[in-house]
Amino acid sequence: MLQINETHDPALRSWIASANDPLTDFPLQNLPFAVFRRVGSAEVWRIGVAIGDQVLDLTHALCVDGLPDLKESSLLAACRQSTLNDLMSLGLPAWSALRLGLSRALREGSACAYVLMDALVAQSAVEYALPAHIGDYTDFYTSIHHATHVGALFRPDNPLLPNYKWVPIGYHGRVSSIGVSGQQFVRPLGQTFPAGATEPVFGPAARMDYELELGVFIGKGNAPGQRIALDQVDQHVFGLCLLNDWSARDIQAWEYQPLGPFLAKNFATTISPWVITLEALVPFRQPWTRAEGDPQPMAYLDSPLHRDTGAMGISLEVGIRTAEMRRAGLPAQCLGRSRFEQSYWSIAQMVAHHTVNGCNLRAGDLLGSGTQSGPQSHEAGSLLELTRGGQQPLTLANGEVRTFLQDGDEVSLRGRCQANGAVSIGFGVCSGTLLPPLP
């Protein structure tokens, strides 16, 4: 079982100075994984660990014997791959051993500091690949506030469907168009049915939106026909990232009945490069509760352990930087904030539900949490909610107005965890840019 251990000790400091900055996303207590190489190089992609403003090159670190605590040959081999899949498939004991070895090697007083210095690369000098080969991508719908807000726009008479409080609703997404932070994509073309029209029209989508989500990378999978029980999920989830499920709302409204969103979402999905391990997130686990009057979850979605620790405190925010803001040298402007602990369904419930029918998950599979929104209007994870379906335009600080995204808009997601007695950790950034449609 995942528990607080020496790697979470808030007194630990790293010999890499930038990791001790209280504002860094990547202190010694985080140690997330990515796949990277030097910008513009033709190097083989390799696995890195974020520490302060640096990346520790795991292949290099093992080469110079800089992680002497690691002995297991399968773990050592997995750390030298070009994706995280092998590491993900090893399971929690291996992940914990690696985390402990990294923590000891990177903390003040480590005997490895000298040899590891050469294995560091500045984050500003690297580019990232997708952290894993993703076999399947499933997107959930876990925020009841988002489901209610959006449901009211699509179905004013029936915002929250009767199954919502029983079923962790999910659907399959598109893998081929998932990109890592920095992704640029053209505005999609498609069929829409404008208000007042008598038949559908074809052209560039007009109601382009982002969705502020968390991504969940599966580590150890399950065999076909087998289930992952709620209390076993921590053994199977490798870690979390940020995820932007770009959406074309006008295409979605016309196509989504009866089989769900398709072209409205499958043109692009952006994730952050860094995968925050579940072990790093232990200090931010919270009791999981239901509001009075909500139905008790079915047995496969409920347990005493889950009630104690099923929720996770993660603050999320989304910012926009328009082409005009970039020209004027203005920074991104925050559009909305929300908290993952307000999600109606937890990560463990997502995984237990996904496999309850025997559906097999594989190492590297990605689950999205669905858009995370809070109950208040400024806590929305999408423009659809912030502008009430485009009815209430937003005026940005520089005077620009938005109902939906304009060509050139860059959207960035961030996430951060804070808790008493714990060092704060963050997710880095997940950004992407909407380009004009092709002629």
Alpha carbons 237 and 262: distance in angstroms, whole number: 27
Alpha carbons 379 and 148: distance in angstroms, whole number: 13
**Of the ranges 85-93, 136-144, 306-314, 398-406, which one interacts with a copy of itself (CB under 8 A)?**
136-144
φ, ψ at 173 (rounded to 5°): -110, -175
Kindly tell me which residue out of 171, 323, 400, 419 binds a copy of itself, with binding defined by CB under 8 A.
171
Q: How many CB atoms lie within 10 A of CB 389?
A: 18
Nearer residue to a copy of itself within complex by CB, 107 or 353: 353
Nearer residue to a copy of itself within complex by CB, 248 or 332: 248
φ, ψ at 354 (rounded to 5°): -60, -35
185: Cα separation from own chain's centroid: 19
| 35 interacts with a copy of itself by CB under 8 A | no
Nearer residue to a copy of itself within complex by CB, 155 or 290: 155
At closest approach, how far in Å is the CB of 81 from a copy of itself? 18
| 163 interacts with a copy of itself by CB under 8 A | yes
Instruction: Specify the 3-state DSSP secondary structure of 158.
Output: coil
At closest approach, how far in Å is the CB of 261 from a copy of itself? 7
**Of the ranges 88-96, 112-120, 174-182, 286-294, which one interacts with a copy of itself (CB under 8 A)?**
174-182
| 152 interacts with a copy of itself by CB under 8 A | no
Q: How many CB atoms lie within 10 A of CB 272?
A: 28
Q: Which residues in 226-285 contact a copy of itself (CB under 8 A)?
A: 226-227, 248, 251, 254-263, 266-268
Nearer residue to a copy of itself within complex by CB, 199 or 292: 199
Kindly tell me which residue out of 229, 334, 359, 396 binds a copy of itself, with binding defined by CB under 8 A.
359
Q: Which residue is catalytic, options 60, 146, 353, 354?
A: 146
DSSP class of residue 135 equals S
| 352 interacts with a copy of itself by CB under 8 A | no
Nearer residue to a copy of itself within complex by CB, 205 or 405: 205
At closest approach, how far in Å is the CB of 192 from a copy of itself? 10
Active site residue 354: no
Contacts for 357 with CB less than 8 Å, ≥ 6 apart: none
| 199 interacts with a copy of itself by CB under 8 A | yes
At closest approach, how far in Å is the CB of 362 from a copy of itself? 5
**Of the ranges 56-64, 329-337, 358-366, 410-418, which one interacts with a copy of itself (CB under 8 A)?**
358-366
Q: Which residues in 281-320 contact a copy of itself (CB under 8 A)?
A: 295, 298-300
Kindly tell me which residue out of 9, 127, 136, 302 binds a copy of itself, with binding defined by CB under 8 A.
136
Contacts for 314 with CB less than 8 Å, ≥ 6 apart: 214, 240, 281, 284, 339, 340, 341, 415, 416, 417, 427
Task: Assess contact for 179 and 269: CB atoms under 8 A.
Answer: yes
Strands (E), 173-314: 178-180, 183-186, 189-192, 201-204, 208-209, 212-218, 237-244, 247-248, 269-271, 276-277, 285-286, 311-312
φ, ψ at 352 (rounded to 5°): -65, -40
Kindly tell me which residue out of 2, 13, 154, 394 binds a copy of itself, with binding defined by CB under 8 A.
154
| 146 interacts with a copy of itself by CB under 8 A | no
Alpha carbons 187 and 251: distance in angstroms, whole number: 12
Q: Distance between the two ends of the chain, CA-based, in angstroms?
A: 54
Alpha carbons 7 and 225: distance in angstroms, whole number: 36
Residue found by looking up tokens 């991504």 in the block: 215
Alpha carbons 221 and 228: distance in angstroms, whole number: 9
Residues identified as active-site: 146
Q: Which residues bind a copy of itself (CB under 8 A)?
A: 135-136, 138, 141, 151, 154-155, 161, 163, 166-167, 169-177, 185-186, 188-191, 193, 199-200, 202, 205, 224-227, 248, 251, 254-263, 266-268, 295, 298-300, 353-354, 356-362, 365, 438
